[in-house]
Structure 1
């Protein structure tokens, strides 16, 4: 019963978001058209050679972050879902920063701290082969990534309506 309720909420979320599906955007589409379909992006990041990235995040409730990369002529060149284990594995400890994590993944679903680490832990929700996971990016007070850890996302299935 719990899975059915989650499926209904997922479909409702798509309906409420105007049914704009990131993967359905066609390469070569003008930036203005993508903005009309997708709405205001979470972040805008300049790219080399005059291009621009529009980042659309479905955090904190969703498990996707999309990059819409535009060329210098403001035409869509690439759409990529980046909230993946591989993208988090690509983060470099002691090199990447709070700013680079924000530009790659957008705002986290949760920011928290623990006694055993001095700094913030940014938590992102993602899907890994159909399993709900969480990536925890440890960022020290200087803004440097120190480690990335993963956990399974645990749902409370003790719903009184089941």
Structure 2
């Protein structure tokens, strides 16, 4: 299923002259048109007002998650790639919770817990400026409130990784 999504996204970008598939979206399309185009969403979240957020992630190895906001009648209101700085920077320290991060970005590629900091960390792969492979991390306190964010280079794409036996 994941390979089918990768192939569909790659083919769509090649056929469209490298224009991302979410840019061919027309507001008001029925969600069934997106499902026909990209397959069933891998994640679905409830939104305030009765709508849904449908997500097509390419994690754990990919850097794209397409998210479609659908109103209660099934009409798509927006379609965008959410794993990017302009979306990450909307997260509000001290206000957002784990649920907010989950609904906005989908499931993280990696989770960990730092006992000395008393912080749970959720991390996402993304491509910054279509050049740099990066990781964006959200740090939550024990109550699940966002306390810190951080971006770092993605070690998966570090050219020195193999030279040092990592």
TM bucket (normalised to shorter chain) is: 0.7 to 0.9
Task: Name the CA distance, whole Å, in 1 between partners of 2:122 and 2:76.
Answer: 30
The 1:39/1:30 distance shift into structure 2, 3 A limit, reads same
Structure 2 regions of 5+ residues with no counterpart?
Answer: 13-20
Bigger relative CO (Cα 8 Å, ≥ 6 apart): 1
Q: CA deviation at 1:69?
A: 1.6
Structure 1 regions of 5+ residues with no counterpart?
Answer: 1-10
Q: Is 11-20 or 98-107 further displaced after alignment?
A: 11-20
Counterpart position of 2:40: 40
Q: CA deviation at 1:52?
A: 2.4
Counterpart position of 2:126: 126
SS of corresponding position for 1:45: strand
| TM-score, structure 1 normalization | 0.77
Aligned residues: 149
Question: Structure 1, residues 85-117: CA drift from partner, whole Å, max 9, x if none?
Answer: 122222122211011100000000111123442
Counterpart position of 1:137: 138
Question: Structure 1, residues 15-38: CA drift from partner, whole Å, max 9, x if none?
Answer: 277956444343332112222222
Task: Name the CA distance, whole Å, in 2 between partners of 1:102 and 1:135.
Answer: 13
RMSD: 2.7
The 1:38/1:153 distance shift into structure 2, 3 A limit, reads same
SS of corresponding position for 1:28: coil
Task: Name the CA distance, whole Å, in 1 between partners of 2:5 and 2:68.
Answer: 21
Report 1:11-160 matches (<5 A).
14-15=6-7, 19=11, 21-129=21-129, 130-154=131-155, 155-157=157-159, 158=162
Q: CA deviation at 1:75?
A: 1.9
Task: Name the CA distance, whole Å, in 2 between partners of 1:151 and 1:96.
Answer: 21
Task: Name the CA distance, whole Å, in 2 between partners of 1:50 and 1:120.
Answer: 30
Task: Name the CA distance, whole Å, in 2 between partners of 1:86 and 1:17.
Answer: 21
| TM-score, structure 2 normalization | 0.75
Q: CA deviation at 1:156?
A: 4.5
The 1:121/1:49 distance shift into structure 2, 3 A limit, reads closer
